Structure 1
Amino acid sequence: MDVPNYDGRIFRPLGNPPNSPTGRYHQNGNLIWADFGGGRLHFGRLVGTCDANGVITATYCQLATDGTVTAGQVTSTPHWTPEGTLTLSESYHRLDGAQGISIIEEVDKSLAPPTPESIRP
């Protein structure tokens, strides 16, 4: 498996459902950060590190359109589909105790999330 460089990649939930949150990832060495928003999210941030296999370990915080704030930790493991699409299997644990696994996939850069500065409450 090729180890991805995440800088500039755009991710959405698997299947690219309409009105889904979208994340823009950045990488500098082993440092990873992302900004995301859309759908039910005004915006969110993720910060963490990436190991030699491309596995991301990070903490995130997000603000939903209903005003709720969610925070937690996530470990994201990269996979490549047979078609060559990069996916991340995200094992998350929220501060409220919720936990689970979600899958996100790389999508076209035209689907990049809005910047927090462009959001109008």
Structure 2
Amino acid sequence: MTAEVTGTIDYDGRSFRSAAAETATATGAPVGRYHQERDTVWAEFSGGAVVRGYLVGRQVGDGCLDLVYCQVLADDTVVSGRCVSTPEILPDGRIRLREDWERFGTGASRGVSYIEEIPEHGPSA
């Protein structure tokens, strides 16, 4: 069971990783490190098939994020798109983000994925 978010969330210093095992590779799932100043949020991420990625956007209400992203994949593909992330609070207090994303350009697609906050002092794998 999860709790809905009311109000804003401070994303600064939090790290997130995919909640889905299928996104992981032998080198692991991508991990994103988030930063925030006022309502501006950005992150850098890498791991698994993602060599390097960035996202930037705004927190728009109840902790929701309106973001754009770009990333370079291990196969040299450059991917960009848009994402709206909606937070839930997990029973242990961590944040789970539902990502409604749209990929632009070649291979354009849409989907939903979930990322979960990595505990600050928890396992890294």
TM range (shorter): 0.7 to 0.9
Deviation at 1:65, TM superposition (A): 1.1
Deviation at 1:83, TM superposition (A): 2.3
CA distance in 2 between counterparts of 1:29 and 1:99 reads 29
CA distance in 1 between counterparts of 2:74 and 2:17 reads 18
Deviation at 1:15, TM superposition (A): 5.6
CA distance in 2 between counterparts of 1:15 and 1:84 reads 19
Percent identity among equivalent residues?
Answer: 38
Query: Structure 2: any 5+ residue segments left out of the alignment?
Result: none
Residue 35 in structure 1 maps to residue 44 in structure 2: yes
CA distance in 1 between counterparts of 2:67 and 2:47 reads 20
Paired residues, what number? 111
Is the Cα–Cα contact under 8 Å of residues 17 and 118 in structure 2 kept in the other structure? yes
For normalisation by structure 2, the TM-score amounts to 0.81
- Range with bigger deviation, 64-73 or 13-22: 13-22
Could you tell me which residue of structure 2 aligns to residue 105 of structure 1? 116
CA distance in 2 between counterparts of 1:52 and 1:60 reads 20
CA distance in 2 between counterparts of 1:63 and 1:13 reads 17
CA distance in 2 between counterparts of 1:108 and 1:36 reads 17
CA distance in 2 between counterparts of 1:76 and 1:11 reads 12
